[in-house]
Amino acid sequence: MRGRRPVPTRIKVLTGNPGKRPLNEHEPRPEPQIPDCPPQLGQVAREEWNRLVGELASLRIVTALDRSALAAYCNAYGLWAEATEAIQKYGTMVKSPTGYPIQSPYVSIANRQAEIMMRIASEFGFTPASRSRISAPAEDWPQASLFDVVPVADTDDAG
């Protein structure tokens, strides 16, 4: 598939559908639900899982379908935290077997996991830039979730 990734309909509705393209009225809308934490996650990753599902559940934007993407984020977070601790302990430079200073392998591990985390974070709206594209309803509005699709009237001023 070429071109930009498609934007989910619920995000288009919340951002006001700036391109004014037709919305997909038949897009699947799974029920918001907190998925079970995968047993494969380590302790640090589980702590991150528990922190995030509470936040995502309060926003009603997590479903059972999001389990693997959220697990991948939490696993990357756990590996990043482990690598960061090793960098703090051993430093960014270590001695090679021949005695020359080289970059610690933990630096590349931490950088790669940070890349993975940022890519997944933007999908869930964990970053300020990804949140800025979403317009949340005012406090006094009826409670709506990202899964509610509201048809947008076609405003063609040409007549």
pLDDT digits over 26-36, tens only? Answer: 777 778 889 99
**How does strand 101-103 pair with strand 93-95?**
antiparallel
User: In the chain, what are the domain boundaries?
Assistant: 9-132
Q: Which residues pair with 101 in a beta bridge?
A: 95
pLDDT at 133: 66
Distance CA 64, CA 67 (A): 6
Q: Which is more confident, 145 or 91?
A: 91
Q: Is 3 helix (H, G, I), strand (E, B) or coil?
A: coil
Phi, psi of 102 (to 5 degrees): -135, 165
- Taking the CA atoms of 83, 68, 11 and 1 in sequence, report the sign of the dihedral they define: positive
pLDDT digits over 106-117, tens only? Answer: 999 999 999 999
Report the greatest alpha carbon distance in the chain: 78
Whether the per-residue pLDDT at 50 is higher than 80: the answer is yes
Q: Are 153 and 17 in contact (CB under 8 A)?
A: no
Task: Answer left, alpha or beta for residue 38, where phi above 0 means left and psi between -120 and 50 means alpha.
Answer: beta
Q: Which residues pair with 93 in a beta bridge?
A: 103
pLDDT digits over 74-133, tens only? Answer: 999 999 999 999 999 999 999 999 999 999 999 999 999 999 999 999 888 788 777 766
Considering only CA atoms, which of 22, 11, 12 is closest in space to residue 156? Answer: 22
Q: Which is more confident, 130 or 52?
A: 52
Distance CA 97, CA 55 (A): 46
Distance CA 104, CA 90 (A): 8
**CA angle (25 as vertex; 20, 26 as ends), nearest 5:** 140
Q: Which is more confident, 136 or 11?
A: 11
Which of 24-38, 61-75, 102-116, 145-159 has the least mean pLDDT? 145-159
**CA angle (35 as vertex; 129, 71 as ends), nearest 5:** 60
pLDDT at 136: 54
